[in-house]
């Protein structure tokens, strides 16, 4: 329930999004939520807001840009004057639904600043199906006609016979309190978390469930009424306040009912007030949702402290949730623009004399011919319609956002390509982590032969076009890494995906990783001051964000590897598809290890190594793999992925992981890795070059090679040369000493001067004197070739650098 909606809206793929909220901050929505939705692929977006919130949005000083053009904002008119107070986010794509119900309004405070409690319902959990159906039915009964453009693209999940794990209570037809009693009956203890309070409502609720103990949790600056009012109503009340370390305001609403053998938790939008709990909307109450969960407790991450002196405890005097707007004498029922025509319909007061009706589109007067409607041809779509009139001589006016269906249709028709372009253009590492997760998920499905009717694979984006005058891939990579201009990034992303994704399945991942690693751009163009001094300059570092995103990328890769090892590769998948899928996964492992794990921790490294080892085991067990591995196009990426994981396995504290990795790698690959890579480069020069190029790293094989060779216990050539240079004389001397060559004394004299390490020389000299030669041996791994003892890490590291070391166990000199 401690869900961070801003974090949650980083991943997943949906087509439709619908919000219900009491208040809204459009600028916040457009800057923080809309881009997330677009990157999730959502094309139909609508917000249902209380009338007051709708009217306030029209006078908002924070300029909005896309209302009516990128999404629909519509007011909810409840028939008996109550306010729309329910909070919901409904995300849908085909049969997949995720819904968030809780206490969060669509504002900065609701999504970021305040303590809110929100629950996630998903169509994947069959225990949530009934609740999703009820929520859908409820919203269907209140959506205004203009909202059909969005809402008609949602549908409730099909009915199932599985017992629900969560119930939805709404105030649509019955007061919430009655429904709570129906489920809970009685409770020994009642705990209420509410920022707005009505003593009578609290007393009624406690009485209705016959609670012996009532705990009331309030914000630190109190509820809207004095606490004493509640204590007068319930003298044994145990009041507490939220002592939040981050100094956040409590806006959550929750009700916990506990008795000996069971408990119920209700969370949602309803404050402990009469308007929320004790009236249905037909009785003039608010529209509220509560989600009721059995035997579920609130997490104890909120720290409430007992209120020692209720008399002096503060209260705010606010009373927001029971003050609906007075009914308006005039209203705009419809304001839409389609095919170059503006259509407006309005309703005037039934009582009183109406005169001087004037209609304005963005402040410009427009003609009308009918009494309550007009349709005029306008070249440019207006944003806002204002209706002014006089009723009984006194002037009044109302406004409405124009719904621009032409612009909305255009958004809907945007292709999958556009969604990826937007994802690439994002500056948020968290978003890139989400996009990489999505990319991986689709790639893995391809590998395993899981086909979705509506989801085409991510690397077949756009038709391949003619290649004339295209920017080079390298140039585009530079733009993704260093440009601060979102338009330039979008242009390059579009061209790259349209023209290269069909030939290079990994191009999208490479681009996402480049963007992930790119520093965010400055918001103050032309800032020549060289430092962020002004108040609006946020801290420039992006480290913690990227670190957490990096962890998410690794977590997702591990999850996908886990999915893979649990599955048997489908025998109906053609080998070419399997090979492509395998190469994509192996490429992802290589790039993520090299590019996305700079900020990751030991735990991530161990986790990934462990999952990769399981993956190698899985590869060995798949019949298709043996044949596929004969193909150098698979062997090359496989070796690179093993080498890339070796780079991180070397840093793992768990000393078992590296030998395990070596064991499984050797089971799969018997050939010399260098030869395998050379064969791949010769056989598929273009493909291997693409694979091996990452931004400024023209050939990542050079980076991986030493680690891979170390894993396969092969000394790299330069180390061999170094060993020859540093220890060749000693080998020669040993040879001469053993065979009693005539030049051995000369060689001894030269070696004594030349030996760079006195300890090694002392060891050799002692062995020579005591006639225990040979004492100098080659070894191939991190164990002594003579006594087979495991060498300490430090000695192994020195060996790899070309040093000679002395085995602690048998006192022999070892070189690689």
Partner 1 sequence: MYRRQETFELKTGLYNPPYNIYRGSLYNLGIFDTSSMSDPLYQSAQPLGDAWDIEAAGTLGEDIRKGILPAFITRQTVAAIASAFCLCRIPRGGLEQRELVRILFAQQESSRLSVSFENEEALADHSRDYRSLAWRFLLELMLASENEHLGNHHTLVYILTHNFVPSTEHPAFHLSLQTWRWIAARTFFERGWTQIFARTMHVLKQERDGLTRQMLRQQLQEDYLVEHQNEPIDSLVQEVKSNRHSSTWLLERFEGKQRRDYLLCICIGLIAASEDKRQYTTPILGKLWKRGPIPFAQEYSRLEQSIQSNAHASTLWAAIAEESLVQHFQIALRKMSSGNPDTLLVDFDAGQWRIPEKSENVVPGAANGFTRLDIGLRWAQQLGLVESPSKDHFILTEAGLDCCRKWDSEQRS
Query: Which residues of the shown chain bind partner 1 in the complex (CB under 8 A)?
Result: 23, 25, 27-28, 31-32, 35, 52-53, 56, 59-63, 105, 107-109, 112-114, 221, 246-249, 316-318, 320, 426-431, 520-521, 523-526, 528-531, 533-536, 538-540, 542, 544-546, 598-599, 647, 651, 696-698, 702-703, 798, 801, 803
Using the minimum distance from each CB to partner 1, give the nearer residue, 530 or 574.
Answer: 530
Nearer to partner 1 by Cβ, of 183 and 651: the residue is 651
Q: Indicate the residue among 212 and 474 with the shorter CB distance to partner 1.
A: 474
Give the β-pairing of 304-306 and 238-242: antiparallel
DSSP letter, residue 32: I
Q: How far is the CB of 430 from partner 1 (least distance, A)?
A: 6
C-alpha–C-alpha distance, residues 513 and 368, integer Å? 55
Q: In angstroms, what is the minimal distance from the CB of 608 to partner 1?
A: 14
Distance CA 713, CA 658 (A): 12
Which residues does 653 contact at the CB level (< 8 Å), separation at least 6?
Answer: 602, 606
Beta partners for residue 396, in sequence order: 389
- 55 vs 678, beta carbon nearer partner 1: 55
CB 155, min distance to partner 1, A: 31
Least distance to partner 1 from the beta carbon of 775, Å? 22
CB of 575 to partner 1, least distance (A): 36
Rank residues 123 and 600 by Cβ distance to partner 1 and give the closer one: 600
Rank residues 118 and 499 by Cβ distance to partner 1 and give the closer one.
Answer: 118
Residues in the chain: 816
Least separation in angstroms between residue 687's CB and partner 1 is: 22
Residue 570: φ, ψ to 5°: -65, 130
* Closest distance to partner 1 from the beta carbon of 805 (Å): 11
243 Cβ partners below 8 Å, 6+ apart? Answer: 220, 303, 304, 305
Are residues 326 and 202 in contact, defined by beta-carbon separation less than 8 angstroms?
Answer: no
CB 550 within 8 Å of CB 597: yes
Distance from C-alpha of 156 to C-alpha of 132, rounded to nearest angstrom: 7
To partner 1, the closest distance from the beta carbon of 61 in angstroms equals 5
Tokens of 385: 């319609």
Q: How far is the CB of 50 from partner 1 (least distance, A)?
A: 10
Query: Rounded to whole angstroms, how far apart are CA atoms 176 and 170?
Result: 6
CB of 291 to partner 1, least distance (A): 24
Strands 189-193 and 213-218: parallel
Rg of the chain (C-alpha set)? 34
Q: In 3D, which of 157, 609, 191, 146 has the Cα closest to residue 335? A: 146
CB of 542 to partner 1, least distance (A): 6
Least CB distance to partner 1 at residue 453 (A): 34
Shortest distance in whole angstroms from residue 670 CB to partner 1? 28
d(CA 194, CA 198): 10
Q: Is the CB of 145 or the CB of 756 nearer to partner 1?
A: 756
DSSP string, 133-162: HHHHHHHHTT--GGGHHHHTT--PPPP--S
Q: Which is nearer to partner 1, 377 or 535 (CB)?
A: 535
Interatomic CA distance for residues 713 and 816, integer angstroms: 9
Answer whether 59's CB lies under 8 Å from 27's CB. Answer: no
Q: What order of strands is seen across the sheet that includes strand 189-193?
A: 166-170, 289-294, 263-268, 254-258, 189-193, 213-218, 238-242, 304-306
* Of residues 363 and 530, the one with the C-beta less far from partner 1: 530
- Please give the structure tokens belonging to residue 328: 């308006």
User: Looking at beta carbons only, is 58 or 629 nearer to partner 1?
Assistant: 58
Considering the complex, state which of residue 429 and residue 581 has its C-beta at the smaller distance from partner 1. 429
Q: How far apart are alpha carbons 553 and 549 in whole angstroms?
A: 6
Looking at the Cβ atoms of 359 and 596, the one nearer to partner 1 is 596
Crossing angle between the packed helical segments 575-595 and 632-649, to the nearest 10 degrees: 30
Judged by DSSP in three states, 409 sits in helix
Both tokens of residue 543? 């480290």
- Compute the C-alpha angle 150/154/156, nearest 5°: 150
User: Residue 221 or residue 606: which is nearer to partner 1 going by CB?
Assistant: 221
For residue 373, count other CB atoms closer than 10 A to its CB. Answer: 13
Q: Is the dihedral of CA 152, 154, 157, 158 positive or negative?
A: positive
Rank residues 273 and 499 by Cβ distance to partner 1 and give the closer one: 273
What is d(CA 719, CA 527) in angstroms, rounded to the nearest whole number? 49
Distance in Å, CB of 268 to partner 1, minimum? 19
User: Which of 124, 446, 79 minimizes the C-alpha distance to 286?
Assistant: 79
Reference 209, options 234, 167, 180, 249; nearest CA is 180
CB closer to partner 1 out of 325 and 357: 325
Q: Can you read off the two tokens belonging to residue 626? A: 């043996």
Instruction: Provide the minimum distance between the beta carbon of 697 and partner 1 in the complex, in angstroms, as a whole number.
Output: 8
Kind of pairing between the strands at 44-50 and 72-76: parallel
Smallest distance, Å, CB 529 to partner 1?
Answer: 5
Which CB atom, from 696 or from 769, has the smaller least distance to partner 1? 696
Contact by Cβ (8 Å): 18, 150: yes
């Amino acid at each position: 329930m401690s869900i961070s909606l801003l974090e949650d809206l980083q991943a997943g793929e949906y087509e439709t999004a619908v919000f219900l909220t009491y208040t809204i901050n459009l600028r916040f929505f457009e800057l923080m939520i809309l881009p997330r939705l677009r990157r999730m692929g959502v094309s139909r977006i609508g917000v249902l807001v209380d009338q007051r919130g709708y009217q306030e949005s029209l006078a908002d000083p924070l300029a909005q840009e896309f209302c009516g053009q990128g999404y629909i904002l519509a007011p909810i008119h409840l028939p008996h004057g109550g306010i729309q107070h329910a909070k919901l986010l409904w995300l849908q794509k085909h049969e997949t639904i995720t819904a968030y119900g809780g206490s969060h309004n669509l504002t900065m405070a609701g999504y970021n600043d305040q303590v809110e409690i929100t629950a996630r319902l998903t169509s994947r959990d069959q225990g949530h199906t009934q609740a999703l159906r009820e929520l859908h039915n409820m919203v269907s009964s209140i959506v205004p006609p203009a909202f059909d453009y969005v809402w008609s693209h949602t549908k409730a999940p099909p009915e199932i016979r599985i017992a629900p794990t969560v119930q939805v209570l709404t105030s649509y037809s019955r007061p919430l309190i009655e429904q709570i009693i129906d489920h809970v009956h009685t409770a020994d203890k009642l705990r209420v978390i509410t920022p707005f309070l009505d003593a009578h409502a609290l007393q009624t609720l406690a009485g209705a469930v016959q609670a012996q103990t009532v705990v009331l949790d309030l914000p630190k600056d109190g509820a809207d009424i004095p606490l004493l009012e509640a204590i007068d109503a319930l003298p044994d009340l145990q009041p507490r306040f939220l002592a939040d370390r981050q100094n956040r305001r409590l806006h959550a609403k929750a009700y916990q009912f506990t008795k000996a053998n069971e408990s119920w938790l209700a969370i949602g939008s309803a404050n402990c007030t009469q308007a929320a709990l004790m009236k249905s909307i037909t009785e003039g109450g608010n529209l509220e949702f509560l989600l009721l969960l059995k035997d579920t407790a609130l997490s104890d991450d909120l720290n409430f402290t007992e209120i020692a002196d209720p008399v002096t405890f503060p209260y705010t005097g606010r009373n927001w949730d029971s003050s609906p707007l007075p009914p308006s004498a005039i209203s705009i029922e419809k304001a839409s623009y389609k095919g170059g025509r503006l259509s407006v319909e309005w309703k005037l007061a039934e009582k009183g004399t109406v005169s001087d009706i004037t209609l304005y589109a963005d402040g410009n007067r427009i003609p009308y011919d009918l009494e309550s409607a007009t349709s005029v041809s306008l070249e440019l779509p207006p944003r806002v319609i204002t209706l002014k009139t006089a009723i009984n001589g006194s002037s009044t006016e109302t406004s409405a956002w124009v719904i621009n269906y032409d612009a909305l249709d255009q958004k809907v028709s945007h292709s999958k390509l556009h969604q990826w372009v937007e994802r690439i253009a994002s500056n948020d590492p968290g978003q890139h982590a989400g996009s990489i997760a999505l990319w991986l998920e689709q790639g893995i499905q391809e590998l395993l032969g899981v086909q979705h009717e509506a989801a085409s694979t991510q690397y077949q984006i756009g038709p391949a076009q003619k290649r004339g005058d295209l920017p080079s891939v390298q140039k585009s990579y530079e733009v993704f890494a260093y440009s601060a201009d979102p338009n330039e990034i979008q242009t390059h992303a579009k061209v790259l995906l349209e023209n290269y994704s069909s030939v290079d399945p990994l191009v999208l991942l490479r681009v996402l990783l480049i963007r992930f690693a790119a520093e965010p751009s400055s918001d103050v163009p032309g800032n020549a001051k060289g430092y962020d001094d002004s108040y609006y300059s946020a801290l420039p570092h992006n480290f913690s964000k990227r670190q957490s995103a990096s962890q998410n990328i690794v977590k997702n890769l591990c999850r996908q590897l886990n999915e893979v090892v649990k599955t048997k590769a489908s025998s109906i998948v053609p080998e070419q598809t399997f090979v492509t899928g395998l190469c994509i996964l192996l490429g992802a492992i290589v790039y993520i290890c090299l590019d996305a794990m700079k900020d990751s921790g030991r735990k991530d490294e161990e986790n990934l190594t462990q999952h990769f080892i399981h993956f190698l085991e899985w590869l060995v067990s798949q019949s298709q793999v043996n044949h596929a591995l004969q193909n150098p196009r698979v062997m090359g990426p496989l070796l690179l992925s093993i080498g890339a994981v070796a780079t991180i396995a070397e840093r793992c504290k768990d000393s078992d992981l590296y030998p395990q990795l070596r064991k499984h790698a050797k089971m799969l690959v018997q050939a010399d890795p260098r030869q395998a890579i050379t064969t791949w480069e010769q056989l598929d020069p273009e493909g291997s070059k693409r694979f091996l190029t990452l931004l400024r790293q023209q050939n990542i094989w050079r980076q991986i090679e030493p680690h891979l060779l170390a894993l396969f216990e092969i000394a790299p050539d330069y180390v061999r040369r170094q060993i020859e240079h540093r220890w060749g004389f000693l080998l020669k001397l040993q040879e001469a000493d053993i065979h009693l060559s005539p030049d051995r004394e000369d060689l001894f004299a030269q070696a004594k001067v030349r030996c760079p390490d006195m300890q090694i020389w002392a060891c050799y000299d002692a062995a020579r004197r005591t006639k225990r030669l040979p004492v100098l041996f080659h070894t191939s791994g991190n164990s002594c070739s003579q006594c087979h003892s495991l060498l300490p890490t430090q000695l192994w590291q020195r060996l790899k650098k070309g040093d000679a070391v002395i085995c602690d166990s048998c006192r022999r000199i070892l070189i690689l």
